[in-house]
Chains A and B, each alone.
Chain A
Amino acid sequence: MSRFALIVAHELKLAFRQGGGASLALGFFVLAGALFPLGIGPEPGILSRIAAGVVFVTALLATMLSLERLFQGDFEDGSLDLLALSPLPLEAVVLAKCLANWLLAGLPLLFAAPLLALILHLRSDGLITLFAAMLLATPTLSLVGAIGAALTVGARRGGVLLSLLVLPLFIPVLIFAVAAVDAATQDLSARSALLALGGFLAAALPLAPWAAAGALRQALE
């Protein structure tokens, strides 16, 4: 097995052995999404209007919560030093960690999102676009979030700081993801918004691991 796959497998094994694994981010996602009908009221008209926004905002927060421990545990027990010394470039290590994070936190959200959208009365013709937008958006969130996680390694009050750093960078993804779903429910073409999301992913895929690896090197210096 290649070193890259080993790191991914290691992360997944750790998450499942520690219990919880994927379910924590998922639980937060569904629960936070279900709070909106309770707070706003059960009227289907209002709920279907805000459904896409609620789904993506809660997905964004759930991803952010899963990012806090992305490098922190490895930094504290010293395995980050070993990963940095391994023959695999640190950029690839970061990419492997992002992939594991996405498999654990992003992928479950992907399948829970249509369900959450259903109980929020999203119009059914928006569901496929919602799924596609989630598919393109959640990896970008993991990648961009990894930069924030790498920058706040070893920081005081890292969790709060992480949200301050990462949430502004998430905003473009949020805007275009919601725009795609809104276009689909209003019988317009969601193509341009989905293309923009794909563009973000294509840009984040090489650039985010590079920036995050740079930040980790500074932390280990």
Chain B
Amino acid sequence: MHRFANPARFLRMSTAIFPWIAALTAICIGAGLYLALFASPPDYQQGESVRIMYVHVPAAWMALFVYTLIAVASGIALVWKHPLAHVAAKAASPIGACFTFIALVSGSLWGKPMWGTWWVWDARLTSVLILFFLYLGHMALMNAFEDSSRGERAAAILALVGFVNVPIIKFSVDWWNTLHQPASVMRLGGPTIDPAMLRPLLLMAVGFTAFFFTVLILRMRAELIARKIRIARMARVHGEPEWTRAAPGGAA
């Protein structure tokens, strides 16, 4: 794992991966949207409103996936002092918050015609709302300190504490009797959803995941560059540091 701790190596690798993953995003979301909006049948009960599901479900999956990724990155950062893990957690948090927000809003738009209400306080919706607040707290804590590395470490602990919510969200539909429907894709005994609907859903899920990694790479690169700029500025303010003076010409 320490092979990847080198930011310069990360920048090189991400440059190589970036066009492929961006292309994968475009293809999967493009094909997924076409299948979801035109080529898939309307539901026998829900009619055309079922098409909201193709955005809602992948967004909700991503909301959980991104938080899990942040928690794993935070654990790695705290245990092995991995410098890139903090950068990854910091870069992923706003993206995850956006996915959570999309899941909440699209669910609300679907709920109005289907359940007759924008919002119900059942276990799944409430726990996803808590997840959204956890994302906001994570982002706020990250930026709350003069010393940014202190904020990163505090946010990492918060991410690990908040991780208890993830299994609660996943299993809330099984543990409690909720208005939100139980899992129909990732369940024991295979999916109960029709292949004509499963195909665009999975395409969208792959597309959303690829999209997340595309944006994550962009944001991590931006963060690394911002750090370089900050260090360069500090060096200018405090005068040139020792190590540049030691080498004549200062080309280090």
Chain A residues proximal to chain B, CB less than 8 Å: 147, 151-152, 154-158, 161, 164-165, 167-169, 171-172, 175, 211, 214-215, 218-219, 221
- A164-B150 contact in complex given A151-B157, A214-B157, C-beta closer than 8 Å: no
- A155-B141 contact in complex given A218-B150, A218-B154, A219-B150, C-beta closer than 8 Å: yes
Q: A215 vs B154: C-alpha distance in the bound complex, in angstroms?
A: 6
Cβ of A156: which chain B residues have Cβ within 8 Å of it?
144-146
- A168 near B146 (CB under 8 angstroms)? no
CB nearest to B123 among chain A residues: A175
Cβ of A172: which chain B residues have Cβ within 8 Å of it?
168
Give the contacting residue for A164; candidates B126, B133, B160; CB below 8 A.
B133
Q: A221 vs B162: C-alpha distance in the bound complex, in angstroms?
A: 23
CB nearest to A218 among chain B residues: B153
A-B contact pairs, 5 of them (CB 8 A): A151-B157, A161-B141, A168-B130, A168-B165, A211-B161
Interface membership of B158, Cβ < 8 A = yes
**Apart from A169-B162, A175-B126, 4 more pairs, CB < 8 Å:** A147-B161, A152-B144, A152-B154, A165-B141
Cβ of B150: which chain A residues have Cβ within 8 Å of it?
154, 218-219, 221
Give the residues from 137 to 185 in chain B that come closer than 8 angstroms, CB to CB, to chain A.
Answer: 137, 140-141, 144-146, 150, 153-154, 157-158, 160-162, 165, 168
- B146 near A211 (CB under 8 angstroms)? no
- B158 near A151 (CB under 8 angstroms)? yes
- A151-B141 contact in complex given A156-B146, A211-B161, A219-B150, C-beta closer than 8 Å: yes
**SS class of chain B's interface: helix, strand, loop or mixed?**
helix
Q: A61 vs B158: C-alpha distance in the bound complex, in angstroms?
A: 20
CB nearest to A172 among chain B residues: B168
Chain B residues proximal to chain A, CB less than 8 Å: 78, 126, 130, 133-134, 136-137, 140-141, 144-146, 150, 153-154, 157-158, 160-162, 165, 168
- A218 near B144 (CB under 8 angstroms)? no
Cβ of A168: which chain B residues have Cβ within 8 Å of it?
130, 133-134, 137, 162, 165
A-B pairs, top 8 by smallest CB distance, nearest first, are A155-B144, A168-B133, A218-B153, A165-B137, A151-B154, A168-B130, A164-B137, A215-B157
- A154-B145 contact in complex given A147-B161, A215-B154, C-beta closer than 8 Å: yes
- A171 near B144 (CB under 8 angstroms)? no
Give the contacting residue for A161; candidates B126, B144, B146, B157; CB below 8 A.
B144
Q: A46 vs B162: C-alpha distance in the bound complex, in angstroms?
A: 35
- B144 near A167 (CB under 8 angstroms)? no
CB nearest to A167 among chain B residues: B133
Q: A141 vs B202: C-alpha distance in the bound complex, in angstroms?
A: 41
Q: A220 vs B85: C-alpha distance in the bound complex, in angstroms?
A: 21
Q: A167 vs B134: C-alpha distance in the bound complex, in angstroms?
A: 10
Q: A215 vs B74: C-alpha distance in the bound complex, in angstroms?
A: 13
Q: A175 vs B123: C-alpha distance in the bound complex, in angstroms?
A: 10
Cβ of B154: which chain A residues have Cβ within 8 Å of it?
151-152, 155, 215, 218-219
CB nearest to B147 among chain A residues: A154
CB nearest to B151 among chain A residues: A155
- A164 near B140 (CB under 8 angstroms)? yes
Q: A81 vs B133: C-alpha distance in the bound complex, in angstroms?
A: 32
- A171 near B160 (CB under 8 angstroms)? no
CB nearest to B139 among chain A residues: A164
Most buried by A among B158, B161, B162: B161
Cβ of B78: which chain A residues have Cβ within 8 Å of it?
214
- A155 near B133 (CB under 8 angstroms)? no
Cβ of B144: which chain A residues have Cβ within 8 Å of it?
152, 155-158, 161
- A155 near B157 (CB under 8 angstroms)? no
Cβ of A171: which chain B residues have Cβ within 8 Å of it?
126, 130
